[in-house]
Chains A and B, each alone.
Chain A
Amino acid sequence: MNLQDAPHVDDIDVSALGIEASKCPWATHGQLRERGPVLTHPRPGGLGYVVTGYEDVLAAFQEPAFSKDPNTIDEQFPEVSAGAKRAGFALTTSGSSHLLNTDPPNHTRLRRLVMRAFTPRRIQSLRPRIQEIVDGLLDELQEQETPDLIEDFAFQLSITMICELLGVPSEDRADFRVWSVASTTPPRKDDDLNRQVEAQKALQDYLAAHIVRRRAELAQSDAAEPADILSAMIAARDENDDNLNDSELVGMAFLLLIAGHETTVGLIGTMAHRLATLPDQRELLLQDPDLIENAVEEFLRFEGAVQRSTLRVAMEDLVIADTRIPAGSVVSMLLGSANHDPRKFENPDEVDITRDTTGHVAFGQGIHFCLGAPLARAEAQIAIGTLLRRFPGYELAVSEDELRYARTVIRALVGLPVHLKPQKATAAL
């Protein structure tokens, strides 16, 4: 087998600004795939590796020699972890252990314990409540002339669900929201970084105290089924009577917010945006509302909020797609590229909500597959299904050119002003 070194790319912007914040990430991804299945690119603190092709992304997800544990990485490659910390990898390294900063067997234990709180059946039971929140938000929005479906709908739904899943009492929600937004807003200046770190600290302190309180309340309660996901995680025990300790619970609660908030906002925003501008796809959904499940999968494939996987570090010399990846390399899989690989999906750059979306990697693949996938799916299905049912003719209130994407690693519109009930009659006046 002839092994090659990864081609280096420095003339295409592989950063969040070049991909997540661009109008057409798939155009950039297409260019990258043409350069090779594995590429290097400049990143803060050194070289980064990205995997571009669908099959090779799948192979990378199966690679056991990748680590996400900052302690393991630090031990073997201190210079890598120092660089990563400077570059903002801190989000997944801060504080306690959770699913995105552990490897097996620690990860296996944690995931098995928290999984009980996130089973599809459990999430299914949340659907009536999600519906209620969506209905309430849309009731308010219909009174407004140009509501913003990001700020006033997707954001509100996502943060309300997270507060309820964590059992944050209503009197604490204002503070919680402020810390959450500051914690998940990526820093652009040094000032912002300090603010972000302070907000994360405040949030973690709050969560730590909140968990102690919930644990005590739970001990007093004789309810058979824990009411919220946090309580379910507190109560979760495996067959060896192992459970999550307080520090791990803080990590998990924090992760729910970091990994679950902006991504859900992004997905709902994407769907509301695209369905407003693709009348044939909207018509399909209006004719057959049951298509909503597959429509969510298609928009995840077409324009998922997570365009690249979280970072991994190669703990030994690896070969992916006949390309050498030296030990100590920081590697990411370009999910958006894999999902637009024409060798896997026909006409990948077109939206077709009736296509077979099996195998898309918008939620990743393998042991780090998105734990919150069933929740994200339920929220998007209900939010978009209800929006269309109640306001089938909603329209963008601005031109598409005016829409902007957040300059972060999550692909999400900054705002999406719409008219829910456009005055069709004005044209006739």
Chain B
Amino acid sequence: MSGRAGIDADIKRCASVRQCVAVAPEYFSPNGEGGRVRILQSSVPPEDFDLVDEAVESCPMQVLGLHPAAPDSAS
């Protein structure tokens, strides 16, 4: 149990607004398929929870989520 959280995304609904990229460029890239956003790393350490949470919250399509990693998950 690392206390990390995971980013999940329903990328097919992404509208390429790239608000998440502006907020947390370490986690989101604008270079996904069809101009959609691509997740660079889905595992988030506690010190970045606020930042990623802001990115998740900022998505007007509500495509993103930040969830506690399952206790037995690998990372």
Chain A residues proximal to chain B, CB less than 8 Å? 58-59, 61-62, 108, 111-112, 115-116, 118-121, 358-359, 363-367, 369-371, 373-374
Contact = CB atoms under 8 A, between A and B. Distances in A.
A373 B60 contact: yes
A112 B22 contact: yes
A225 to B, nearest CB: 14
B75 interface: no
A213 to B, nearest CB: 29
Given A58-B35, A119-B57, A120-B60, A108 B13 contact: no
A61 B23 CA distance: 21
B58 interface: yes
Given A358-B13, A363-B15, A62 B58 contact: no
B43 interface: no
Contacts of B12: 358-359
6 contacts: A62-B35, A111-B19, A111-B22, A359-B13, A364-B15, A373-B60
Nearest to B16: A366
Contact of A366 (B22, B23, B35, B58): B35
Interface string B13-49: 1011111001100000000001100000000000000
B62 interface: yes
Given A61-B35, A108-B22, A115 B58 contact: yes
A189 to B, nearest CB: 38
Contacts of B58: 112, 115-116, 119
A58 B14 CA distance: 12
A64 to B, nearest CB: 10
Nearest to A61: B16
Contacts of A58: 34-35
A407 B13 CA distance: 33
A54 to B, nearest CB: 12
A369 B17 contact: yes
Interface residues of B, number: 16
B60 A369 contact: yes
A121 B59 CA distance: 10
**In this complex, which of B16, B18, B23, B60 has the most chain A Cβ atoms within 10 angstroms of its Cβ?**
B60
A369 B14 CA distance: 11
A373 B57 CA distance: 14
**In this complex, which of A58, A119, A365 has the most chain B Cβ atoms within 10 angstroms of its Cβ?**
A119
Contacts of A119: 57-58
A373 B60 CA distance: 7
Contact of B15 (A116, A121, A369, A371): A369
Given A58-B34, A58-B35, A62-B35, A112 B60 contact: no
Nearest to A62: B35
A115 B19 contact: yes
Contact of B18 (A120, A358, A363, A367): A367
A371 B17 CA distance: 10
A401 B25 CA distance: 53
A366 B17 contact: yes
A407 B22 CA distance: 38
Contacts of A61: 16, 35
Contact of A374 (B13, B19, B60): B60
A109 to B, nearest CB: 8
A365 B19 contact: no
A365 B15 contact: yes
A116 B60 CA distance: 11
Contact of A120 (B15, B16, B35, B57): B57
A364 B59 CA distance: 14
B34 A121 contact: no
A61 B14 CA distance: 13
Contacts of A370: 60
A345 B52 CA distance: 34
Given A61-B35, A112-B23, A358-B12, A366 B57 contact: no
Nearest to A122: B57
Contacts of A118: 60
Given A121-B57, A358-B13, A366 B18 contact: yes
Contacts of A121: 57
Nearest to B59: A120
Contacts of A120: 57, 59-60, 62
Given A61-B35, A112-B19, 4 more contacts: A359-B13, A365-B17, A367-B16, A367-B18
A35 B12 CA distance: 30
